[in-house]
Structure 1
Amino acid sequence: MDSLLAPYHKIGSYSEKDVKFLLKDLSALDLEGTTESREKRIQSGEHYSESLPVEYQPPQEYLKLFLATLDEYKEMVALYVGVVAEQIVNLKGKDAVLVSLARAGTPIGILIKRYVEWKYALTLPHYSVSIIRGRGLDVNAIKYIGHHHPRGNVQFIDGWTGKGAISIELTRSCQELQHNEGIVLDDTLAVLADPGHCTSLYGTREDFIIPSACLNSTVSGLVSRTVFNKKYIGPNDFHGAKYYKELEAEDLSNDYLQEITAQFPLVKDEVSARLKEDKVLEKATFSGLETVKRMMEEFAIEDINFVKPGVGETTRVLLRRVPWKILIKDLNSPFVKHILMLCAERNVPVEEYPNMEYTCCGLIKNVR
């Protein structure tokens, strides 16, 4: 292999047949801080990617709720996986290279890969790479993919959109790669749920519960959030992450994949029907940003990064940030059961807020 390329080493509990994480293993390092101390450092100027939150270990009741949620929505997840996968095959063909954004995008990327294999007997390469807000894509990972798939047609994948920060970051990063490295990439982001109207390649624009959003590493191959801290990441390294081997007994990552994959034959006809609907081709308008701006004004929030709209992002606020309050469109929505349980556990106030396209929104507390 080209000596200038960062070396690949397996990390995580997923099979390499499902995905290759292009990440440097930082498992030996102590990078976690308490949620409160980390929040203070981030709000005082430390970049969120320089450290890690402590992994949330759910109580038994929450785990039961996750499993019930998976059972209830596995067919819906499979349906939208199929809708996205079919669009990718149509757009990129057999030269498609799936590149999911670690870590929320990784299980979705694996499911898309498995769907394409099930439906078309086509084995697409799949990598998971780091993208960090304000830092961009991992350039070394992109170079590695380009070296191994010179004719590949890259398709970026994530789980969902919130207000579109990662979509915007991806576009900016792709523009920089073209300008600085001469690497031309399609910056369209494929997601299961696009409630913020941030992409044209999505399964649905309904802000529904994607079960893998409910947990952290134990449904993401036991891999942490990605880290970009120059103390540990050299110029020729991939961005880093930790592999939580100590959580192997609690790992549900591969069980989750099996549950969804088993639904593919059941949703085949509905996938075809959905693809005939014009709404699948709607363009990105980033209309969710207007909602976010209205919330900032209404709640006197100065930093847009304190507003995290959508079920996935709200869950993340409760799992690894310091929440101020949670806004919920409809308290009886089946998509917010786990949100309400986490709010009760962490004593976070909940406010009904019907005037938004999102199912819920997490507001981060200003701890400065």
Structure 2
Amino acid sequence: MEAWRSRRIDEPQPMGSYPPSDVTFLLKDISKIKLEVALDARERAIQSGTHYSEMLPQEHLPSSDYLNLYQETLELSAEKVALSVGVVAELIRTKKGPNTVLVSLARAGTPVGILIKRYLRDTHGLELPHYSISIIRGKGIDENALLYMLQKHPGARLQFIDGWTGKGAIRKVLTQACDQMARKHGIVLEDDLAVLADPGHCTDMFGTREDFLIPSACLNSTVSGLMSRTVLRDDLIGPNDFHGSKYYKEWLEHDQSTHFIEAIVPYFSGVTEAAQKIAQEMLLHPPAITWHGLRDIQAIQMAYSMADINLIKPGVGETTRVLLRRVPWRILVNRMDNPHIRHILLLAEARGVPVEVYPGLTYSCCGLIQSVKGDAE
């Protein structure tokens, strides 16, 4: 069971546009390989059984209108994001202690992990190592990345970090992965997932359960260190490799990654007291994990006669992703004047996607993906 300690795993290659002091990407550089597939063709492939991690969506630079909306959103929500970061960071510090490794789930978790790392350093003088690793629905977590961190930091506790929850699919993958590590290697990992927003009620480590817009959800690689989504394909990733990712360094002049971090950090000192108070209250009265959001999604699945629940993507972050890199069928919103969905309405209009009000929705919005098999016609 202890053979993992001597398993040889190569040192990671420097990747991404963040300073190395902010994050180490435990990912294999596959930048030279053409993996991008047009949206319609990718959607057909996914719904016909090809796993989404075997190809990449074509990414486009945002329009000037959209970028202006992103900047405006960032200015309006920076303090709110900082408070959520502070709450989560205080929970991690209190529950896990100083011998903790921050483990962001690529890629939405990466900017959040960097903010948590910066908060703990700036507020408490705590310098925690921070890595970004791959987790893939239907395939699991990058085992080589886990073993690398455990070899590098013996006896440390790992804290997994993501941006937000939707249906809670990644939380379930994480739990399964931790169970597998225990069975296979005798390694006991904690499957608690720290997120800024938990509208799905899937975890008890969160900054808020409000489904608000985390501005980094608005953009793709240009707010994630210019990294692509992660890739896992047998012909590209060997048994001793980390999962793969591309580094779009040709977009350096359009990169918003560090700008996003630097827009939030100045608010930390002003939110520390409130963050500590909220975290303390959550530790005294742990929030219930009810998976409430999933029940909403099941109701939508029935109301719209959708055969595949995976075609329903709840929450502001997931709906944004649907509009940026899937083939959307329609968008459901809790109300049209919700300030968190202005970019959603802009994207939906640009792509000609109908928007409907769905009263009583737990989330701010949901994206329904077009079925290529006809079950959502």
| Paired-residue identity, % | 54
1:200 aligns with 2:222: no
- Equivalent position amino acid for 2:135 in 1: I
Decide whether the 8 Å contact of 2:331 with 2:354 is kept in 1: yes
For residues 8-27 of structure 1, what are the structure 2 equivalents within 5 Å? 8-27=12-31
1:164 aligns with 2:168: yes
Once residues 283 and 229 of structure 1 are traced to their aligned partners in structure 2, the CA distance between those partners, rounded to angstroms, is 38
Structure 2 residue aligned with 1:124: 128
Where 1:29 maps in the other structure, the secondary structure is coil
- C-alpha distance after superposition, 1:152-191 (max 9, x if no partner): 1100000000010000010011101111122211000000
- C-alpha distance after superposition, 1:6-44 (max 9, x if no partner): 331111001111000000001000000100000001100
Decide whether the 8 Å contact of 2:162 with 2:193 is kept in 1: yes
- Equivalent position amino acid for 2:58 in 1: V
- Equivalent position amino acid for 1:340 in 2: L
Q: TM-score, normalised by structure 1?
A: 0.98
Once residues 14 and 291 of structure 1 are traced to their aligned partners in structure 2, the CA distance between those partners, rounded to angstroms, is 37
Where 2:8 maps in the other structure, the secondary structure is coil
Q: Tell me how far 1:273 sits from its aligned partner.
A: 3.0
1:302 aligns with 2:307: yes
Decide whether the 8 Å contact of 1:104 with 1:213 is kept in 2: yes
Structure 2 residue aligned with 1:349: 354
- C-alpha distance after superposition, 1:66-91 (max 9, x if no partner): 00000000000000000000000001
Gaps of 5+ in 1: none
For residues 147-186 of structure 1, what are the structure 2 equivalents within 5 Å? 147-186=151-190
1:340 aligns with 2:345: yes
Where 1:226 maps in the other structure, the secondary structure is coil
Residues 133 and 91 (structure 1), Cα distance of their counterparts in 2 relative to 1, 3 Å cut: same
Where 1:277 maps in the other structure, the secondary structure is helix
Q: TM-score, normalised by structure 2?
A: 0.96
For residues 92-241 of structure 1, what are the structure 2 equivalents within 5 Å? 92-241=96-245
What is the RMSD computed on CA atoms of the aligned residues? Answer: 1.3
Q: How many matched pairs?
A: 368
- Equivalent position amino acid for 1:335 in 2: H
Q: Tell me how far 1:138 sits from its aligned partner.
A: 0.2
1:287 aligns with 2:302: no
Structure 2 residue aligned with 1:72: 76
Q: Tell me how far 1:355 sits from its aligned partner.
A: 1.8
Once residues 141 and 164 of structure 1 are traced to their aligned partners in structure 2, the CA distance between those partners, rounded to angstroms, is 22
- Equivalent position amino acid for 2:330 in 1: K
Decide whether the 8 Å contact of 2:196 with 2:208 is kept in 1: yes
Residues 306 and 151 (structure 1), Cα distance of their counterparts in 2 relative to 1, 3 Å cut: same
Decide whether the 8 Å contact of 1:24 with 1:238 is kept in 2: yes
